[in-house]
Amino acid sequence: MKYERVIELAKRRGFLWPSFEIYGATAGFWDFGPLGAILKRRVENLWRELYVIREGFFEIESPTIGVEDMFAASGHIDNFVDLVVDCKKCGEMFRADHLAQDVGKESTRDGVAKLIKAHNIRCPECGGELGEVRTFNLMFRTTIGPSSERVGYLRPETAQGMFVDFPRLLRFYRDKLPFGTVQIGKAYRNEISPRQGVIRLREFTLAEAEIFVDPRDKSHPRFDEVSDTVLRLYPEKEQLRGKDEIEISVKDAVKKGIILNQFMGYHLALVHLFLTGVGIKPENLRFRQHKKEEMAHYAADCWDAETLLDLGWVELVGIADRTDYDLKSHAKKSGVDMGVFVRYGKPKVVERLRIKPKMDVLGPKFKDGAAKVADALMGLRPERLDELGKESIEVDGKTMRIDPSWVECERVSEEVHGEKVAPHVIEPSYGIDRIVYALLEHSLAEEAVEGEKRLVLRLPPRVAPIQVAVLPLLTKGNLVEVAKEVALVLRENATLVEYDDSGTIGRRYRRHDEIGTPFAITIDHQTLEDNTVTIRERDSMKQIRVGIDGISDTIRGLLDGKIQFERVGTLV
């Protein structure tokens, strides 16, 4: 498996290693070592360049611990669960749906329980009888403060922290839609028994954007900028019919209704732009639409950007139209208004009925409650009298049908300046750790060079941890001094340089091939004579000789892809 080879290199060279290794490691927790952390940070910063700088979405930072009310409203307490079953004999716990997956396709609790019973599935460990199928919540639970009653959860997504901040964010954006907010931070999922190494972590980093839009108009003001982008889509229809992915422009996909709206289309294109920009090759990338049955009940449309790894297609990014579900749920639970008043271009004149409750009817009927009923009636704004009989009012939590005899009506005309809308949310949600792993797996190549095996990490220069190695050929003479000076000059130009003088030059090249350093500068005897150095390109292993003056600009140009390697100097 390529996974093992990637992880062997990642551990040995300081990209990734299992956390708490000296205590035997714990599944689902991995450390980013010195080189892995730089790689990850470069990916995050490129993400910020796109979403924060280009799109203008401000970043915020909310806590990783969330309160119970928040996750009750969001639905995570009820729905962020796996189905599990315990063995009555040995006590081991299993994913119930996994045990039943070979005998039938069921995903509900009852369905899975029936399958287990019908097929007499027993404990895979000891053969014992299995108990009831039950749900296991995947949020890590803790308690806040000294009383054990104040429950908190580690967030399963950063999104909720932005939804509960909506009233403050709306004010910050001066009460205008659309606007976006982003967050990059830790999220958690207490997996029952994670088995896919760094692909399925219990603690991971998400980069999420929540874009709040006017639900009446999901056209994107800058749709034209991306509309010609060609995406490899795997729509629900093609999946159900067992067909292949299709290649189609964003414009056509929206026009044909494959992608729900322009806002979704725009953000699918942005995800494509980002992933190919950090180094995921387009041929390893597709957008798979969620099928009706797998889509969250509140989502109107949902796509996963997937990449092809050795273990199959793996989700890197989810892009969803979450509709007004989240804001409405929090508004309901908290009692705080989450609507946005959208002004019309010019006021509309509307004819309405003004309602006057008949207290002589309501009094005898509702006694002490009459005033409250009258209040609720005055809140109604029907346009025609016959609508009134169809409406209901809520008084003290009880819903009641209106009897037209309770009121008198008067026709009035009103100027309406706008209306209140419940914003919808478009959300791209990136799994940063998986993107980092995918870059490693896609970049790792093994080749035979002069009869020896060469391991090389072909990371794009913009994400490679060490950008340039500076290597004196020998540690004799003035080579070391000159090399250190070259390193210093490059550092001053914000280039991440590693100076390295240990071991043979061949061994040093091998090490830098393995950690993906795109260029190596070697200082040799000729340097002392004519002020030139060699630059070795990692991928081609070709070397050119260039002047030491302007080396900083040369390297910067090579890293940015603005100058071509073989044109900079003479090939040696």
Q: How far apart are CA 112 and CA 277, in angstroms?
A: 42
Using the rule CB under 8 A, is 399 a contact of a second copy? no
Asked if residue 497 lies in contact with residue 487, where contact means CB atoms within 8 angstroms, the answer is yes
In terms of phi and psi (left: phi > 0; alpha: psi -120 to 50; beta: otherwise), the region of 326 is alpha
* Total interface residues for a second copy by CB under 8 A: 74
Contacts 24+ apart (CB under 8 A), 381-390: 381/352, 381/353, 382/352, 382/353, 382/355, 383/350, 383/351, 383/352, 383/353, 384/353, 385/353, 385/409, 388/353, 388/355
Write down the residue that tokens 């006057």 correspond to.
Answer: 356
The number of residues making up the chain comes to 572
**Binding region for a second copy (CB under 8 A) out of 14-22, 119-127, 381-389, 437-445:** 14-22
Alpha helices in 151-249, H assignment, sequence order = 159-163, 166-172, 236-240
**Binding region for a second copy (CB under 8 A) out of 121-129, 161-169, 314-322, 555-563:** 161-169
**Binding region for a second copy (CB under 8 A) out of 2-10, 171-179, 300-308, 537-545:** 171-179
* 412, 413, 414, 416 alpha-carbon torsion, rounded to 10°: 130
Among 168, 195, 291, 417, binds a second copy (CB under 8 A): 168
* 375, 376, 377, 381 alpha-carbon torsion, rounded to 10°: 110
3-state secondary structure (DSSP) of residue 203? strand
Q: How far apart are CA 174 and CA 420, in angstroms?
A: 15
Residue number with CB closer to a second copy (330 or 556): 330
Using the rule CB under 8 A, is 385 a contact of a second copy? no
**Scanning residues 476 to 505, which ones bind a second copy (CB under 8 A)?**
491, 502
Among 169, 207, 250, 377, binds a second copy (CB under 8 A): 169
Q: How far apart are CA 430 and CA 305, in angstroms?
A: 9
* Complete DSSP assignment for 430-451: EEHHHHHHHHHHHHEEEEEETT
Asked whether the bond before 428 is cis by omega within 30 degrees of 0, the reply is no
Contact letters for a second copy, residues 107-146 (x by CB under 8 A): -----------------------------x---xxxxxxx
Among 58, 391, 403, 539, binds a second copy (CB under 8 A): 58
Residue number with CB closer to a second copy (28 or 235): 28
Amino acid at 345: G
Using the rule CB under 8 A, is 538 a contact of a second copy? no
The beta-strand segments (E) located in 156-284 are 179-188, 203-213, 230-234, 246-249
Among 3, 75, 131, 165, binds a second copy (CB under 8 A): 165
Using the rule CB under 8 A, is 40 a contact of a second copy? yes
**Binding region for a second copy (CB under 8 A) out of 9-17, 298-306, 315-323, 376-384:** 9-17
Nearest approach, Cβ of 550 to a second copy (angstroms)? 22
Residue number with CB closer to a second copy (28 or 423): 28
Residue number with CB closer to a second copy (393 or 559): 559
Asked if residue 209 lies in contact with residue 424, where contact means CB atoms within 8 angstroms, the answer is no
Among 6, 50, 84, 486, binds a second copy (CB under 8 A): 84
Q: How far apart are CA 315 and CA 288, in angstroms?
A: 9
Residue number with CB closer to a second copy (125 or 310): 125
Among 2, 5, 46, 67, binds a second copy (CB under 8 A): 67
Residue number with CB closer to a second copy (210 or 524): 210
Q: 198 Cβ partners below 8 Å, 6+ apart?
A: 7, 16, 30, 433, 434, 437
Nearest approach, Cβ of 276 to a second copy (angstroms)? 23
Asked if residue 103 lies in contact with residue 114, where contact means CB atoms within 8 angstroms, the answer is no
User: What is the longest distance spanned by two Cα atoms in the chain?
Assistant: 110
Nearest approach, Cβ of 456 to a second copy (angstroms)? 20
Nearest approach, Cβ of 97 to a second copy (angstroms)? 14
Residue number with CB closer to a second copy (167 or 215): 167
Residue number with CB closer to a second copy (40 or 538): 40
Q: Which has the closest alpha carbon to 99: 111, 115, 80, 79?
A: 115
**Binding region for a second copy (CB under 8 A) out of 37-45, 313-321, 454-462, 528-536:** 37-45
Residue 83, Cβ neighbours under 10 Å: how many?
23
**Binding region for a second copy (CB under 8 A) out of 58-66, 236-244, 305-313, 363-371:** 58-66
Using the rule CB under 8 A, is 14 a contact of a second copy? yes
Residue number with CB closer to a second copy (166 or 303): 166
**Scanning residues 321 to 360, which ones bind a second copy (CB under 8 A)?**
330, 333-334, 336
Alpha helices in 68-133, H assignment, sequence order = 68-74, 76-79, 96-100, 109-118
**Binding region for a second copy (CB under 8 A) out of 21-29, 100-108, 361-369, 453-461:** 21-29
Query: And the tokens for 551?
Result: 């080396």
**Binding region for a second copy (CB under 8 A) out of 122-130, 164-172, 315-323, 446-454:** 164-172
Asked if residue 479 lies in contact with residue 472, where contact means CB atoms within 8 angstroms, the answer is yes
Using the rule CB under 8 A, is 93 a contact of a second copy? yes
Report the relative pairing of strands 285-289 and 230-234 from DSSP bridges.
Answer: parallel
Among 20, 222, 400, 474, binds a second copy (CB under 8 A): 20
**Scanning residues 193 to 212, which ones bind a second copy (CB under 8 A)?**
193, 202-203
Among 74, 190, 429, 517, binds a second copy (CB under 8 A): 190
